[in-house]
């Protein structure tokens, strides 16, 4: 019996023994696939239909239609500074979190939707210490808390989306108008012209993208036009897997990716992008998704044995099976990277092939691990992403000015107090400048401060001017991304070594159980 059949049999046995309530079918999901300021161009090669309020009509095959938006009312939002969270079903956990912050006037915010039949309750309660009308005020309190070593994040509550008039045009002719939005249903596919992707990243660009599901066009909470595809989760995964991991990846790695992505999406459905009119976005914030691709048929066949499979956590819920490009040799503990409760399945595992143990919280060992690493799964030559195992980056004096601008404490004299977590990533640093001090907490803000480093697992050589102020830097680092959960490069290496997808998942998510949800 091969490893795949053994894994699937194990899942079946687990479900029968535990009496898992299975949902009837894959859930419907809404994913924002593109945003435009006020103009969208679409083409349906095989034609389709449009619907605007109570009116409807046909889309002529292979003709270019334009949808324009005239903004009339801007979105209404407010900003919460959150310091913790917990399951809506776990009152004890919520009270414990509130007790940690009893010096503040805390409030609760419920995020998520009531569970559908056959699905566990994934609703989350955020614990906040302040509500603000604008983001800068929330950031001021966040900086004060950071100086005291308290991690927090700004949560945007979407009260009301923007509103305006939408027009569907063919040439100079206006075909339809709507104040609520347009629905497009293609016979085969809808092409969005010049869809923007990876905004804020070095690989930012525009390209035509194809989608098979229904398409909703409406004003969103960012005062722009949102293009939202409506499809079922399994169809969506066929596009997500090759966008998140190589379409040339070994089958077991693609299957592990499919299970992880399915679990991450189901655990966050209704929680992420709350009140925005969709469940997920198609960018790094949620899951990278580029729509229909030439590899879809092969991907579908490769991941079909995993249909409905997710990882169950220690509380019987769906594990948020997060993942990153390259862990650098050791994965991270979730509570150190994000402001969240510790998840026993996300406490970091070694990616060293021999299993030797290292203490990467120790500065000396961490620096040695960067310079002279042992043989790790995510360093296997020729595997996609292995080139991100180690990296170097320099900031010139001109580039360093951007660091000073973000820190806003004048010229920087010292950078001290680095705290490393289990993966070696730095999660706290203290900057001392001529106009004050600033503490930066958590992995992503530290990466962003220094111009977008690949990870916060680095060692730095600070360069100084004649007056002793830091004015440039050389970085040497490990890994790409936050490092929590499954290492995608390591997963591919394990698959090439003959590991089954279940083995890969349980290596990166120890203690989790593979179950079939539908």
pLDDT of residue 357: 87
Domain end among 260, 275, 310: 310
Pairing of strands 55-59, 190-197: unpaired
Q: Kindly report, residue by residue over 80-125, the tens digit of the pLDDT.
A: 999 999 999 899 999 999 999 999 999 999 999 888 887 888 899 9
Domain annotation covers residue 7: no
Whether the per-residue pLDDT at 384 is higher than 60: the answer is yes
Domain annotation covers residue 131: yes
CA distance 393 to 476: 7
Give the residue-averaged pLDDT of 421-435: 97
In this structure, the answer to whether residues 304 and 405 fall within a common structural domain is no
1-10, 233-242, 275-284: least confidently modelled range: 1-10
Q: Which residues face 49 on adjacent strands? A: 58, 185
In this structure, the answer to whether residues 41 and 147 fall within a common structural domain is no
Give the residue-averaged pLDDT of 39-60: 97
pLDDT of residue 201: 82
Q: Kindly report, residue by residue over 492-509, the tens digit of the pLDDT.
A: 999 999 999 999 999 999
Q: Kindly report, residue by residue over 135-183, the tens digit of the pLDDT.
A: 999 999 999 999 999 999 999 999 999 999 999 999 999 999 999 999 9
Q: Kindly report, residue by residue over 107-117, the tens digit of the pLDDT.
A: 999 999 888 88
| Percentage of residues of the chain with pLDDT beyond 70 | 95
Whether the per-residue pLDDT at 40 is higher than 50: the answer is yes
Contact 81/128 with Cβ under 8 angstroms?
yes
Pairing of strands 64-73, 76-87: unpaired
pLDDT of residue 154: 97
Give the residue-averaged pLDDT of 8-17: 41
In this structure, the answer to whether residues 268 and 172 fall within a common structural domain is yes
Classify residue 172 by burial, with Cβ atoms within 10 Å: 0-12, 13-18, 19+: exposed
Residue recorded with tokens 């809808």: 190
Q: Which domain covers residue 182, as residue numbers?
A: 20-73+162-310
Whether the per-residue pLDDT at 1 is higher than 60: the answer is no
Neighbours of 128 (CB within 10 A): 25
Conformational region of residue 104, where left means phi above 0, alpha means psi within -120 to 50, and beta covers everything else: beta
Whether the per-residue pLDDT at 7 is higher than 80: the answer is no
DSSP E strands in 88-123: the ranges are 107-111
Query: CATH number, domain at 98?
Result: 3.30.70.1070
Neighbours of 504 (CB within 10 A): 28
In this structure, the answer to whether residues 331 and 475 fall within a common structural domain is yes
Domain end among 287, 310, 333: 310
Length of the chain measured in residues: 518
Q: Kindly report, residue by residue over 13-24, the tens digit of the pLDDT.
A: 344 334 345 656
pLDDT of residue 269: 92
Domain annotation covers residue 453: yes
pLDDT class of 203 with cuts at 50, 70, 90: confident
pLDDT of residue 22: 62
Whether the per-residue pLDDT at 33 is higher than 60: the answer is yes
Q: Kindly report, residue by residue over 245-302, the tens digit of the pLDDT.
A: 988 999 999 999 999 999 999 999 999 999 999 999 999 889 899 999 877 889 999 9
| Percentage of residues of the chain with pLDDT beyond 90 | 88
In this structure, the answer to whether residues 435 and 361 fall within a common structural domain is yes
296-323 CB burial, b ≥16 within 10 A, e <16: bebbeebbeebebbbbbbeeebbbbbbb
CA distance 349 to 328: 11
Tell me the DSSP string of 142-208: HHHHHHTT---EEEEEEEE--EEEEEEEETTEEEEEESS-EEEEESS-EEEEEEEESTTSTT-EEEE
Q: How is residue 331 annotated by DSSP?
A: P
Domain annotation covers residue 363: yes
Domain end among 115, 131, 160: 160
Contact 258/303 with Cβ under 8 angstroms?
yes
């Amino acid at each position: 019996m091969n490893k795949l059949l053994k894994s699937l049999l194990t899942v079946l046995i687990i479900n029968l023994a535990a009496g898992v309530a299975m949902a009837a079918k894959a859930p419907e999901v809404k994913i924002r696939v593109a945003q435009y300021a006020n103009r969208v161009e679409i083409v349906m090669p095989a034609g389709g239909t449009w619907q605007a309020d109570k009116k409807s009509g046909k889309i002529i095959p292979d003709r270019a239609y334009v949808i324009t938006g005239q903004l009339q009312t801007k979105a209404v939002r407010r900003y919460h500074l959150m310091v913790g969270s917990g399951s809506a079903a776990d009152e004890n956990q919520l009270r414990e979190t509130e007790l940690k912050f009893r010096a503040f006037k805390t409030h609760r915010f419920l995020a998520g939707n009531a569970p559908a039949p056959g699905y566990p309750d994934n609703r989350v309660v955020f614990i906040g210490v302040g509500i603000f009308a604008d983001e800068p005020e929330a950031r001021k309190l966040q900086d004060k808390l950071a100086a005291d070593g308290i991690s927090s994040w700004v949560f945007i509550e979407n009260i009301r989306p923007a509103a305006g008039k939408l027009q569907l045009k063919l040439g100079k002719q206006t075909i339809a108008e709507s104040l609520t939005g347009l629905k497009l249903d293609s016979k085969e596919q809808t092409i969005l012209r010049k869809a923007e992707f990876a905004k804020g990243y070095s690989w930012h660009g525009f390209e035509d993208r194809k989608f098979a599901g229904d398409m909703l066009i409406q004003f969103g909470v960012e005062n722009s036009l949102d293009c939202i595809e409506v499809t079922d989760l399994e169809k969506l995964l066929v596009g997500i897997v090759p966008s998140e991991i190589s379409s040339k990846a070994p089958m077991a790695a693609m299957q592990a990716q499919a299970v992880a992505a399915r679990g991450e999406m189901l655990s966050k459905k209704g929680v992420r992008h709350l009140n925005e009119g969709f469940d997920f976005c198609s960018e790094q914030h949620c899951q990278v998704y580029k729509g229909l691709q030439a590899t879809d048929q092969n991907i579908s066949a490769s991941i079909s044995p995993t249909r409905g499979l997710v990882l169950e956590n220690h509380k019987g819920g769906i594990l948020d099976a997060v993942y990153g490009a390259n862990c650098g040799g050791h994965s991270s503990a979730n509570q150190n990277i994000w402001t969240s409760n510790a998840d026993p399945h996300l406490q970091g595992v070694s990616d060293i092939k021999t299993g030797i143990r290292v203490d990467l919280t120790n500065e000396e060992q961490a620096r040695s691990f960067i310079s002279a690493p042992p043989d790790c799964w995510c360093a296997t030559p020729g595997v996609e992403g292995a080139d991100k195992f180690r990296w170097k980056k320099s900031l010139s004096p001109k580039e360093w000015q951007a660091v000073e601008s973000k820190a806003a404490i004048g010229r920087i004299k010292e950078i001290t107090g680095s705290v490393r977590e289990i993966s070696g990533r730095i999660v706290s640093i203290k900057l001392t400048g001529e106009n004050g001090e600033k503490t930066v907490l958590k992995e992503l803000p530290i990466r962003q401060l220094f111009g977008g480093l690949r990870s916060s697992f680095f060692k730095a050589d600070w360069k100084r001017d004649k007056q002793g102020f830091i004015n440039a830097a050389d970085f040497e680092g490990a890994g790409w991304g936050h490092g929590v959960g499954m290492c995608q490069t390591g997963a591919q290496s394990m698959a090439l070594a003959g590991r089954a997808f279940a083995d890969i998942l349980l290596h990166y998510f120890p203690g989790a159980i593979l179950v079939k949800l539908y």
